Chain A
Amino acid sequence: MAENALLTAPVSKLKQLLGDRTVSSEELTKAYLAQIAAENASLNAVVTVCAEEALASAREADAQIARGTTRSLTGIPLLHKDIFCTEGVRTTCGSRMLESFVPAYDATVVTKMKAEGAVMLGKCNMDEFAMGSSNETSFFGPVKNPWDLSCVPGGSSGGSAAALASGMAPLVTGTDTGGSIRQPASLCGVTGLKPTYGRVSRLGIIAFASSLDQAGPMARTAEDCALALTAMSGIDPGDSTSADISVPDFHSALSTDVNGLRIGLPREYFNDDLDSRVRENVMAALAELERAGAILHDIDLPHSHYAIATYYVIAPAEASANLARYDGVRFGYRCDAPADLEDLYQRSRSEGFGEEVQRRILVGTYALSAGFYDAYFNKAQQVRRVITEDFQRAFEQVDVIAGPAAPGVAFPFGSKQQDPIAMYMEDIYTLAVNLAGLPGLSTPAGLIDGMPVGLQLIGKPFDEQTILNAAFRLQNDTDWHLACPDLASLSS
């Protein structure tokens, strides 16, 4: 198999090649490490490479394959977003604050993927503390979109999406607090799944907004996402919000049968504000599902336009509480020569955090402060319920809700950075899903002027299977998910 074909092969294919000994995990690992070495200087998608550890795990995986004691991901290389704590491996969260932080334990997702035999190649760049939709807020510099190096990859899991799209790994992890898996998946032309809130343990994921954060996989196919989701899901005593609900084998339950599947199209998502080109691509993808037997319905999510306001109270409020732990004392960045303890706190935080993170801490602190708590935080939590009830009513009529994953394709660097509100609008179609705790995925729906765009599918709580099946069917009938950026031209 040609090198390039190996780098763009899905996990399902690689499993087959490993199983019949066409390729070894060590060979695979070397091929991806070589791709990272060749392309990372231009893309900046990976912040830490663990070459030696990866090769050692790969050799162990090869021994297991030889012994016939394999697990679901044995020998499959992967990259983790640098928000997942990795024991002994620097975990930065894209921030100067954690530039040299080395965790003493693994995140549960990392433990689970390891236990399934995956080989960790390294850690992916991201927006600082997962706050951003373009990867421009990373302390380690912006990630570039492999489809067009002058454009952003989306965010906050932009490093993960760009690494996957450029053949640096066949599988990557991300986290999604307001769209941080689905939006970069859309902008980089890959499949990204945000599971139901509570499906995947948050233990060891550096906290942003604890009632919204959820980890999930990004891969080349819905089938690979099903495989990875099964591996990473499940109740965890270390996360009291992880759900006590059984985890199906999403992969073996995959089905292409969408006959009679009721798909709701919210009028609020398909209104005049939607870019006509995005509408065209999304509708073309939905027409494919209709041809396969699905039934499209118009539905209403009447409070959709409150999602942004609600999110930008709740997420910063929770962030301001979570980020209070960075005090320059126990771990993380400390300023030089503090005059006293107050100076130590204030300067360590102001020098250690970037602009967007500080803005959200300020907004969150304000929303939680005496005299404003009821007007902002309590109010936003009430509207959160109203938005969630919209979805509950819609799901009485339909099985899946569909829409765009992002309002447009990847945009040029700097074009939205000066206006926080313009950047926040990138997540206009994804935020409500986090507020309601629902599963959502983005699957490629063709190109607009050579740049990818994603179809978003939203499911009922804990029903990831139905949206995975719909994406699986779509990918069975179309080849949009097979489109790749021109890898040969990346470093030239």
Chain B
Amino acid sequence: MSVTPQDVEKVALLARLAISESDLPEVTERFSRVLNLVDELNTIDTESVTPMSNPHDMEQRLRPDIVTRDDNRKALMASAPAQEQGYFLVPKVID
């Protein structure tokens, strides 16, 4: 299956990626090549097959909801690209 540049722009918006006008034709072409590769899946009948999300069909374990790590807020905040008074700083979203 091929995709159009408009399809790619729509998916890019969903994925929050900015694709420049000049890159769009090549991105679309390579995207289509990957989709053509995976379209082979349509040649196999899987009508009664249960989808597999874990290779051992294991159930996710739950653990007790208790604090297991010390407060490392300072170390975690140190990775923020911009912050003010201990809060993450982003461009203004509400006027």
Q: Which residues of A contact B (CB under 8 A)?
A: 101-102, 104-105, 197-198, 211, 237-238, 240-241, 243-244, 303, 305-306, 308-310, 312-313, 320, 324, 327-334, 338-347, 349-350, 353, 358-359, 361-363, 365-367, 369, 375-376, 378-386, 388, 419-421, 424, 435-438, 461
Contacts and interface: CB of A to CB of B under 8 A. Distances in A.
Contacts of A388: 52, 55
27 contacts: A104-B78, A197-B56, A198-B56, A240-B61, A243-B58, A308-B37, A312-B34, A312-B37, A312-B38, A313-B38, A328-B81, A329-B88, A330-B80, A330-B88, A331-B81, A344-B90, A344-B91, A367-B38, A376-B38, A381-B51, A383-B41, A386-B49, A388-B52, A419-B33, A420-B33, A420-B34, A424-B37
Nearest to B59: A240
A338 B89 CA distance: 12
Contact of B75 (A104, A308, A332): A104
B31 A363 contact: yes
A198 B80 contact: no
B17 interface: yes
Contacts of B67: none
Interface in B10-30: 11-12, 14-19, 27, 30
Contacts of B60: 240-241
Given A312-B38, A338-B91, A349-B15, 6 more contacts: A104-B78, A197-B54, A198-B56, A309-B41, A378-B51, A385-B50
A309 B37 contact: yes
Contacts of A244: 61
Contact of B52 (A359, A384, A438): A384
B18 A347 contact: yes
Nearest to A438: B55
Nearest to A214: B55
Which of A309, A340, A436 has the most chain B CB atoms closer than 10 A to its own CB? A309
Contact of B44 (A329, A369, A386): A386
B50 to A, nearest CB: 6
A332 B40 CA distance: 37
A426 B90 CA distance: 42
Contacts of B51: 378, 381-382, 384-385
B46 interface: yes
B79 interface: yes
B41 A436 contact: no
Nearest to B38: A309
B72 interface: yes
A341 B55 contact: no
Contacts of A347: 18
Main secondary structure of the interface of B (DSSP, over half): loop
A341 B90 contact: yes
A350 B19 contact: yes
Main secondary structure of the interface of A (DSSP, over half): helix
B1 to A, nearest CB: 9
A424 to B, nearest CB: 7
A421 B38 CA distance: 11
B90 A211 contact: no
A334 B15 contact: no
A306 B44 contact: yes
Given A346-B16, A362-B8, A382 B49 contact: yes
Contacts of A343: 91
Q: A-B pairs with the 3 shortest C-beta distances?
A: A437-B55, A381-B51, A331-B79
Nearest to A345: B16
Contacts of B50: 382, 385
Contact of B12 (A309, A312, A362): A362
Contact of A361 (B17, B46, B49, B79): B17
Which of A104, A197, A437 has the most chain B CB atoms closer than 10 A to its own CB? A104
Contact of B62 (A240, A313, A341, A366): A240
B55 A334 contact: no
Contacts of B27: 359, 362
Contacts of B40: 305-306, 308-309
Contacts of B6: none
A375 B38 CA distance: 10
A339 B52 CA distance: 43
Given A330-B80, A362-B17, A420-B30, A386 B46 contact: yes
A437 B78 CA distance: 37
Nearest to B73: A104
B5 to A, nearest CB: 12
Given A309-B40, A379-B46, A385 B52 contact: yes
A346 to B, nearest CB: 4
A114 B55 CA distance: 30
A362 B41 contact: no
Given A341-B93, A385-B49, A198 B58 contact: yes
Contacts of A353: 17
A365 B34 CA distance: 13
A96 to B, nearest CB: 13
Given A240-B60, A240-B62, A424-B37, A349 B17 contact: yes
Contacts of B7: 366
Which of B18, B58, B75, B88 has the most chain A CB atoms closer than 10 A to its own CB? B18
Given A244-B61, A309-B40, A381-B53, A332 B33 contact: no
